[in-house]
Each structure stands twice: as structure tokens, then as C-alpha cells.
Amino acid sequence: MKLCAAFAVFLLALASGQERRSVLIKVADVSWAPVNLPGVPAGIQQKLLHNNAANKLQSSLVRLPKGFREPRHYHTTCGHSIYILKGRIRSPEGMLTPGTFTYAAPNERHGPFVAEQDTEFLFYTDGPFDYFIEDK
């Protein structure tokens, strides 16, 4: 669990490049909120941990329910990092399990992803988040 905490601090440090103050969040005190993306099935939830409005960087904890399928997609204005905390996600590149880190670059198609178990991961965007579905 120390690695997860260190990674969260690392992400917060990256996201706070233009911040004027540090951020300390007790994740247990943050409520889960649904994430609604056009064309994506319901079921994604997130705890938004840090939102740097000045340069559009975000850090969050994301939860996918078992059986959730995220379509193949891409982003034009950001890349994003994912660090799996618990659960399993099947991807074209292989199984994403706890301790797995992946980065998707802007304009790079990725997915589809299927949650084989209830899954949680740290999610960090490095620019304004947009979302375009490639498969229908």
C-alpha cells in the first residue's frame, strides 16, 4: 500500500505544477460520483482528487463494475495514466492487474477494456479531457 500512496503523491505533485498551494486529500472522505460519457455505458464512478483548472490536469480514483465494457476510443487534447489498485481489466495488450501502470498518448486508439472484476485505479490526465469513440 506504500507504493500506492507514493504514486498518489507523485501524481498530485505533477498536477500541481502551477498551483499556489499543496493539496492533501483523505480519499475516504471523497464521495463516489457517476461519470457520464456520451456513447459509453453507465457504471463508471470516480472520486475526483485534484482538479487543476489552470492547466486542465486531473487526478482521480476510478471504479468500474464487473462486466463493464469501455469501447475503443481516443483523446485528442490529453494523454492519461492508469495505475491499477484492485481488480482485473482485459485489454488488447493483455490483462491489467494490481500494480500495472499504463499510459495512453494523445490520439492513440486504446481499448476496448472489459472489467473482469470490480476494479479501481488511479487516473491522471495531462491535459483537457476529451473522449472520442472509435467502435460503435
pLDDT at 89 > cutoff 60: yes
For residues 98-111, give the mean pLDDT: 97
Q: Which of 75, 55, 63, 56 is nearest to 134 (CA)?
A: 75
Burial 75-89 (b: 16+ CB within 10 A, else e): beebebbbbbbebbb
Evaluate if residue 115 carries a pLDDT over 50: yes
Per-residue pLDDT band for 16 (boundaries 50, 70, 90) equals very low
Whole-number pLDDT of residue 86: 98
Secondary structure letter of residue 90 according to DSSP: E
Which region among 49-53, 70-74, 108-112 has the lowest average model confidence (pLDDT)? 49-53
The answer to whether the beta carbons of residues 72 and 45 sit under 8 Å apart is no
Bridge-based pairing state of the strands 33-34 and 45-52 = antiparallel
Using pLDDT thresholds of 50, 70 and 90, give the confidence band for residue 7.
low
Q: Which residue is associated with the grid cell 480514483? A: 61
Which grid cell sits at 53? 483548472
pLDDT, position 135: 75
